[in-house]
Amino acid sequence: MKDTGTVAAMVADTGHRQGDRGSHHGSSSPEDNCCKWMKELDDECVCDLLSRLPPLLSKPAHEYTVYVGASCNVTYSCDMQL
């Protein structure tokens, strides 16, 4: 992967299931659930958390992209005052 200042978090499906209980209408995969919640996070909240990283990893006016599985990525834009 080319280094573009991207923070990547991959959530892998481990294949472990709690047993097949039939079809659940409206149920979603763990990746879909995680993606949904990542999209709900406010940029300011995420950037405040990321600003606490060591200076090598936190940069002012930077974008951080989180990858969840193969079909979801969420980008947070930060204008950090270091």
Q: The pTM is what?
A: 0.57
- Model confidence over 40-69: pLDDT tens digits? 999 999 888 888 888 777 666 688 899 998
Name, in order, each residue with C-beta under 8 angstroms of 23's C-beta and a sequence gap of 6 or more.
none
Question: What is the average per-residue pLDDT within 17-30?
Answer: 55
Q: Provide the domain limits for residue 66.
A: 30-78
Enter the tokens of residue 34: 């995680």
Q: Encode the chain in three state secondary structure.
A: CCCCCCCCCCCCCCCCCCCCCCCCCCCCCHHHHHHHHHHHCCHHHHHHHHCCCCCCCCCCCEEEEEEECCCEEEEEEECCCC
Q: How many domains does the chain have?
A: 1
